[in-house]
A and B are shown apart, each in its own frame.
Chain A
Amino acid sequence: MFARTSSVASIFPILVTIRLKSIKNIQKITKSMKMVAAAKYARAERQLKPARVYGNGAVALYEKAEIKAPEGVANKHLLIGVSSDRGLCGAVHSNVAKAIKAKIATLTGEGKEVMVVNVGDKLRNILGFLWNLVYYHDNNYLLLSCKEVGRKPPTFTDASIVATELLNMGYEFDQGAVIYNRFRSVISYKTDEKPIFSIDTVANSENMGIYDDIDADVLRNYQEFALVNIIYFGLKESTTSEQSARMTAMDSASKNASEMIDKLTLTFNRTRQAVITKELIEIISGAAAL
């Protein structure tokens, strides 16, 4: 495509000029998006530090007590995919969507029931497109979808709103996972999941016997709070990964744009010089003919 354009452009320098101008504008936009993403990333990373301690504290119970849902039973699963509304951030949304798809496939293969909660419009678009295909079209997996995620940094209140709506839907799940992008460094993130369990699963788990003095009310409050904590943790990690991914994506876009600008500038100059040379030759040969 580029070759075709350049052969056309070598006749009409005006086309090169138009293309050059539009690519320069795009480069300005991507550069500014990169700066904005860098600023948001710095803030998100700062907020991530305490959120990580908080989130790890929240799942500590599940890890230390080694809570597991009973195997082999037809469990109901709940998957919470955490992403955002906005694009231009690399593979962030598709990674989460791929992980959710893979989990749905394994779980339905084992005969378990699955429902999905989307946090973020992009996930709904990606997953919804897939669910319209024949493979999934009988099943409506979507339980809840959340919009307006990603414009402002997520707060604990946002996580509690998601958890409240989820619990109000009344879907009695036994276990599940929050699928999010865990932030590793500026250039790398990894799709990860944190387990969530229902009140009954926790209460009936074998190691819970050592925990003293727990009644149903306390456990329910504790579980609801833990759910909010895990969602909050997923949101915070996810935002940081998204902003860093957007930063790198916009950075490479700007670099690509500047490469194209260099190439086009060369073509433009060559074209211009060729036209001038042609006119000179015409003039000189015309003069020589006289």
Chain B
Amino acid sequence: MMAARFLRRSIPVLRQARCYADAPSGSSQMSFTFASPTQVYFKEASVKQVDVPTLTGAFGILPAHVPTLQVLRPGVVTVFNDDGSAAKFFVSSGSITVNADSSVQLLAEEAFPLDQLDVAAAKANLEKAQSEMASASDEAARAEAIVKALE
């Protein structure tokens, strides 16, 4: 059963021809660690997929993804658990590492679950920031507002 579940996932990757020959022998599980300096959200958890916004574009990361290093952009990280539920977090910046053994470390400078964010406060902050022409808070508040608008 493990082989069948594994096969389902590895076939799309193989079709891209970016998988290494020994990848099938690696784990079919993703060991996912997602933390901010003050809080840990996932610690070596097994999840199905993670969507991250990076400086070079949005990535969807599945187990046996090609190893890579990326830097995060302000945006929403979506984690799809094994049972199908999705958890969304807003991150301000940070880095993501995908290693060869299918372990993923997502380190965010600031991260909050989306339900902790207040739309009204975010919009008010956005207007204040725009009027002040600040840079970082502007991006963050704007990204927040966009995210809320998208939902």
Contacts and interface: CB of A to CB of B under 8 A. Distances in A.
A156 B55 contact: no
A50 B39 contact: yes
Interface string B109-150: 100000000000000000000000000000000000000000
Contact of B37 (A213, A218, A232): A232
B107 A229 contact: yes
A213 B94 CA distance: 17
A226 interface: yes
A222 B36 contact: no
Contacts, number: 85
Nearest to B96: A222
A211 B35 contact: no
Given A61-B105, A212-B68, A222-B95, A47 B35 contact: no
Nearest to A56: B33
Interface string A56-77: 0110110011000000000000
A77 B66 CA distance: 32
B67 to A, nearest CB: 5
**Which among A47, A214, A218 has the highest number of chain B CB atoms within 10 Å?**
A218
Q: Secondary structure of the A side of the interface?
A: helix
The DSSP consensus for interface residues of chain B is: strand
A210 B109 CA distance: 26
Interface string B34-46: 0111111001000
A213 B33 CA distance: 21
A49 interface: yes
B69 A49 contact: no
Contacts of A229: 37, 107
Nearest to B105: A57
21 contacts: A50-B37, A50-B40, A53-B35, A53-B43, A54-B36, A54-B40, A57-B107, A58-B107, A64-B100, A64-B103, A156-B38, A211-B67, A211-B68, A212-B66, A212-B67, A214-B68, A218-B71, A221-B95, A222-B70, A226-B95, A229-B37
Interface of A: 47, 49-51, 53-54, 57-58, 60-61, 64-65, 155-156, 210-214, 217-219, 221-222, 225-226, 229, 232
